[in-house]
Amino acid sequence: MKVKSIKDLDITEEMYRRALEVESAWQLASKFDARSLEFKKLNNEWIKLDDAFQDEVNDEYSTREIIIEYERRMVENKITKETRRESNETVNKKVRYSQIVECLIHTSRLTAKECAVKMMQKGYIPTSERNFTAPRLTELENKGVVEVVGKTKCNYTHKMVSVYRLNPNIEISDIYKLL
């Protein structure tokens, strides 16, 4: 299977470990004189490891490229998790929940984007980006406060999206207690 770029290659942790093993074998072999018996023995071991590894990646990428790409992804993933956590910690969820509930009280059914637009119009959020509301709507759904009642084509993105409403089995006064 030919991939366009190393970024498209599915690099597993196991593949990364094998690439490190191949690199270690080469580094160990390269410490000896090329004419020595130790070098020949270690070099043969490295060749076997490398051949097996290259079969797995279809001779497209070196072990070094695999190691560098895997480590780049791990750093990128760590940074993404850190920024997501930091962003999540800055949100006053109770306030955001109340704002969403208020929008749903006045308009019985909304998509995440429509809710964000209403919240921006009220001055609750700086932009109508749906990411201000979508995670909170999911959390409210998990709490039983809102429910998904269908899907519709979004007026803004023209994609099929979920439509939310307040849970009709809960009194409005009780909803605020659940937040």
Weakest-pLDDT range from 16-20, 58-62, 115-119: 58-62
Rounded to the nearest angstrom, the gap between the alpha carbon of residue 96 and the centroid of all alpha carbons in its chain is 23
| Secondary-structure percent of the chain, ordered helix, strand, coil, rounded to 5 | 65, 10, 30
Q: Which two tokens stand for residue 57?
A: 């990646």
> When comparing pLDDT for 102 and 75, which is higher?
102
The residues near 68 (Cβ < 8 Å, ≥ 6 apart) are: none
Query: Exposure string (b/e) for 126-161, b if CB count within 10 Å is 16 or more?
Result: eebebebbbbbbebbeeeebbbeeeeeebeeeeeeb
Query: What does the pLDDT look like over 138-159, one tens digit per residue?
Result: 999 999 999 999 999 999 889 9
CA dist 137 and 148 (Å) reads: 9
Q: What percent of the chain has pLDDT over 70?
A: 93
* Mean pLDDT to the nearest integer, 57-63: 71
Q: Which two tokens stand for residue 62?
A: 């070196």
Q: Cα separations (Å) of 30 from 15, 21, 150?
A: 23, 14, 64
* pTM for this entry: 0.57
pLDDT score of 39: 78
Domains of the chain in sequence order = 6-89 (no CATH), 93-178 (1.10.10.10)
pLDDT score of 6: 63
Q: Work out the end-to-end distance of the chain between its first and last CA atoms, rounded to an integer number of angstroms.
A: 50
pLDDT score of 19: 80
* Mean pLDDT to the nearest integer, 170-174: 86
Residue 116: other Cβ atoms inside 10 A? 25
Q: In this structure, are residues 112 and 161 in contact, taking their beta carbons and an 8 Å threshold? A: yes
Query: What does the pLDDT look like over 82-105, one tens digit per residue?
Result: 888 888 788 889 999 999 999 999
Does residue 173 surpass a pLDDT of 80? yes
Weakest-pLDDT range from 1-15, 40-54, 61-75, 93-107: 1-15
